[in-house]
Structure 1
Amino acid sequence: MRRAERLFRILNEMRTRDVIRGSELAERMEVSLSTIYRDIAHLQASGLPIEGEAGIGYLLRPGFELPNMTFTHDQVDALAIGLAFVERTGDPMLATAAQEARAKIQAGLPNPEDRKLADAPFYSLQIQNSAPPTVSLVREAIRQRLIVEIDYRDGEGQSSERSVRPLVLWNLTDGWMFSAWCELRRDFRTFRFDRIEKLAVTGTVFEDDDTKGLRAFLATEPCEGD
């Protein structure tokens, strides 16, 4: 990693933290602690409002803003691939959001005409299945932590009414699915959108629960589908 890129990343890390220790920065940047001390000293000498000292931690005073976004060529390629994927998920709202995000990022790049995200040679060949309208409802429910009620038909054709805590969406070759904590089964379950006969987002907010949240779900074995 070039020093200029490392200095930028150090500033970006400090913007997201109240206080950060030099050892944490060294681990994240994959350099020695002495290198971090030299980088911090260089930034302070350049007039940046960084307070703190070695062995205690560093703080970037509020009010400092970074200049236009700077990305490496690899980072621009990663953004191009990710945006291309999102545009082809079949969710119109996400596709529009990806196009808007591309425009914002492009405008923030230094010398934007030198490297256009729209011209990056990466494309995503996505499944033909368009996202059903209920995907956007579940996305909003995940964001606001709202209970979702569904009438669901399982793989054997049996129907049941479920009250679930939606946690994560999946866009797979088989189509769209979402995983949730199911109150009926008292366990994590994954539901296929093409088997949902009815879906309604309630106004009930579910509280944070370490045993029923996304982290707990990801720590389990692949959960059983319904």
Structure 2
Amino acid sequence: MKRLHRLTAILVKLQSKKIVQASELADKFEVSLRTIYRDMQALTDAGVPIGAEAGTGYFLVDGYSLPPVMFTEKEANALLTASKIIKTNNDQSLIDAYHEAIDKVIAVLKTSQKQKLELLDQRVFTYNRRAAHPSNTLSVIQQAITDFRVLEISYTNMNKEASKRRIEPLGVYFTNNTWIVIAYCKLRKDYREFRTDRIESLVECHEIFTSQRFTLEDYYNRRLQQYRTNNSSS
């Protein structure tokens, strides 16, 4: 990769994350740490306000923003293809949000790129049987995860039993064409998983829950440990 392209890519990376480590950049661009240090100095000399914390990484000073990013044809093609795949998922809110994002991408493309993308749009096809009961709540759930906002849901379980739950959403995952939300259930006072296609209604509450240390890796490690414990005792 030419240095100019690498410097531009580093700027995009800095704007996309709060902190970026030099080792992460070195691995991404397959260069030495010394090269990354020189690149950072070059950006600083060019007037880009880059801050650094020893042992932590680099960051852009608040208030600085990049000019609109231009996409390469391969990047635009990848985004278009991803939109086709997303169409096959079972949550309409995700489909709508992604297509709004794609429209913004197309808006900054050159006319020749737009024409090529229109052609590709007609030549790329994905198929997946649509869910019998698609959901439309994923976007709200994702926002609640980052805002630490309690949600009240009307939920029907696999036995067709309906209940109302107040939950603290912590994460989501996609499996078997279904989105699952992992949450702390205030009714059960424990972690529970809820299929979004079984959420009949959802209300965002004013209540904010306390941020807690949560990772999907830790969660599944606990589940695996519980599974092993239950099997060993049976």
Give secondary structure in 2 for the equivalent of 1:128: coil
Deviations 1:147-190 (A, max 9, x none): 23345444455555533212334454354432212234433221
The match for 1:191 is 194
1:105 CA displacement? 1.1
The normalised TM-score by structure 1 is: 0.68
Match status 1:207 vs 2:203? no
Distance in 2, Cα, partners of 1:35 & 1:209: 38
Q: Does the CA-based 8 Å contact 1:153-1:159 persist in structure 2?
A: yes
Match status 1:217 vs 2:229? no
Match status 1:182 vs 2:222? no
The match for 2:81 is 81
1:9 CA displacement? 1.4
Give secondary structure in 2 for the equivalent of 1:70: coil
What amino acid sits opposite 1:166 in the alignment? P
Give secondary structure in 2 for the equivalent of 1:190: strand
Identity %, equivalent residues: 31
Q: Which consecutive residues of structure 1, in runs of 5 or more, have no partner in the other structure?
A: none
1:133 CA displacement? 4.3
Map 1:1-226 → 2, pairs under 5 A? 1-15=1-15, 22-23=22-23, 25-40=25-40, 42-43=42-43, 47-49=46-48, 65-109=65-109, 111-114=110-113, 116-120=116-120, 121-129=123-131, 131-135=134-138, 137-156=140-159, 160-173=163-176, 175-196=178-199, 199-210=202-213, 216-217=218-219, 220-221=222-223
Distance in 2, Cα, partners of 1:151 & 1:189: 14
Deviations 1:63-120 (A, max 9, x none): 66534423445433332232223344354443333222112112224x3523554443
The normalised TM-score by structure 2 is: 0.66
What amino acid sits opposite 1:97 in the alignment? A
Deviations 1:45-68 (A, max 9, x none): 6x4445689x99867666665344
Structure 1 residues 149 and 26 mapped into 2: Cα distance closer, same or farther (>3 Å)?
Answer: same
Q: Does the CA-based 8 Å contact 1:210-1:216 persist in structure 2?
A: no
Structure 1 residues 199 and 113 mapped into 2: Cα distance closer, same or farther (>3 Å)?
Answer: same
The match for 2:231 is none
Q: Does the CA-based 8 Å contact 2:51-2:61 persist in structure 1?
A: no
Q: Does the CA-based 8 Å contact 2:93-2:138 persist in structure 1?
A: no
Give secondary structure in 1 for the equivalent of 2:70: coil
1:208 CA displacement? 0.5
Structure 1 residues 88 and 31 mapped into 2: Cα distance closer, same or farther (>3 Å)?
Answer: same
Q: Does the CA-based 8 Å contact 1:50-1:60 persist in structure 2?
A: yes
1:191 CA displacement? 1.5
1:201 CA displacement? 3.7
Q: Does the CA-based 8 Å contact 1:142-1:166 persist in structure 2?
A: yes
1:196 CA displacement? 4.5
Richer in helix (by share): 2
Distance in 1, Cα, partners of 2:206 & 2:134: 24
Q: Does the CA-based 8 Å contact 1:90-1:131 persist in structure 2?
A: yes
